[in-house]
Chains A and B, each alone.
Chain A
């Protein structure tokens, strides 16, 4: 039967270099050169986050408490987290599926060779085309008087909004996110698709596998860590997005970033420590999904040597 190459070649690769030996002797006076970088990072990256994290574990009097996290369990905030997670999961799933399909078509699909660079360049642009202009573009497309809505109504006699679609709802926002999720997926999954070696397919074919068997037993198992990892990256990408959804729906669509945004903007932080907990919750979710992404990526890279 066909089997994927075993993991032998990966073991020596994953050994991480230790920081410890000769660490202090290597530093000597050289640390001075790193003062600007670490000073800057400390002031504008580490300390602000540290401030929020410590604040999240304190009450108004400054003593230690877990109360703020307990208060996250209020219906409003739980609903915001739930909505954010569902939206991010859904848009990441959609982005992963369509991105992999697109990657398959563009890289392995036997299309003319100019198709790939065109899509890759465009993806570079589209994955950066998030935020407010993207919201405007989708309003002009699928809003109540958007081009597609009007064409469907006038030409095909199909009332999109009558059929239950609304750009300013869950599905609409997810579809808008797809505009930057799918290109991002294409960009990060392309190396993995390139890593599928022709020899594996040939070997599988010689052993009598058909196309389906090759994909099910060789290609997909090799791709799985990459795809899962990219999925988590897309999840984090959607989870942290604020500008797009804000421009699209104002503040009616209460995902976690919007809730936090409103709390800061209102300047009526009746309980800033609760805000800290909200922020820390976001960072934890982003950190977990990004960490798993990195772990899976290192696992996946063993096939790409």
Chain B
């Protein structure tokens, strides 16, 4: 056992190859299937068919707006809270953390069931009666679903900077509380927020249960519908979704590992003046 001699890791290699094929074969199969729409040749016809569909564009637009609204609302709710709890009420941190983790134990179908019953026609706040009200419920639901991730991300971002000193400095320079939050704290935890935002986006963009039960024209219900009606388009949409999630996750990683104050894309403006033409 003690000898340093390295043998070829047969078992590990086998496991890794097997799992890699389990992960990659469905992706390859889906991609290949999505190319077969035109008989006898491989083409991007199914992608073209998807992109040219009006319903597709409408649902994409709706889901994008809803997800962006969820990101804004989520940030507006989470950032001041995380800041305030860390600065003034550290004793309440376990409570806030517990509330922010609650969505993990509540399945979306249960959450939306509660919404429909609580905000139904004869309630104190009949949100489901108008489409605007239902949109509000949908966005609120997205915020709730992403709350655990958003809060964790922002709170970690706050931990990385010295909030107390920054606040004191801002206040001694005469900044109001609002100014401190928007002008000092927000920019310093920006990458944490953006990282949470991409996660929120990937959660809410293709979300099915809330949108379907609230009867909203979102991307998730559209996916299910097209899965029942068509053969090749679903495969194309699956590939596009995978690419989108991939992009979201990569961007999340980029922002999550970024230190506050660093440039977003350091290589965009090279230090040397090579590019500048004389």
Listed in ascending order, the chain A residues whose CB lies under 8 Å from chain B are 17, 19, 22-23, 26-27, 30-31, 33-34, 36-38, 40-41, 43-49, 51-52, 55, 98, 101-102, 104-106, 109-111, 115, 119, 121-122, 124-126, 128-129, 131-141, 146-148, 178-179, 182-183, 205, 210-211, 236, 239-240, 242-243, 246-247, 250, 257, 260-261, 264-265, 272, 275-276, 279, 282-283, 286-287, 290
Contacts and interface: CB of A to CB of B under 8 A. Distances in A.
B1 A137 contact: no
B77 A30 contact: no
Contact of B213 (A132, A141, A261): A261
A286 B114 contact: no
Closest A-B pairs by Cβ, 10 of them: A48-B114, A109-B12, A147-B29, A33-B84, A240-B107, A105-B12, A37-B81, A133-B241, A136-B238, A105-B15
Contacts of B102: 41, 45-46
A264 B111 CA distance: 12
Contacts of A138: 26
Nearest to A275: B113
Interface of B: 1-2, 6, 9, 11-13, 15-16, 19, 22-23, 25-30, 32-34, 76-78, 80-81, 84-85, 88-89, 91-92, 94-96, 99, 102-118, 137, 140-141, 143-144, 147, 202-203, 206-209, 212-213, 220, 223-224, 227-228, 234-235, 237-238, 241-242, 245-246, 248-250, 252-253
B106 A49 contact: yes
Contact of B113 (A52, A102, A286): A52
Contacts of B116: 264
Nearest to B252: A124
Nearest to A209: B1
Given A27-B89, A260-B110, A260-B113, A140 B245 contact: no
Contacts of A240: 107-109
Nearest to A27: B89
A140 B212 contact: no
A41 B108 contact: no
Contacts of B144: 44-45
A38 B9 CA distance: 53
Contacts of B108: 240, 242
Nearest to A38: B99
Contacts of A45: 99, 102-103, 106, 111, 144, 147
A286 B81 contact: no
Contacts of A38: 99
A159 B157 CA distance: 54
A278 to B, nearest CB: 9
Nearest to A37: B81
A279 B252 CA distance: 33
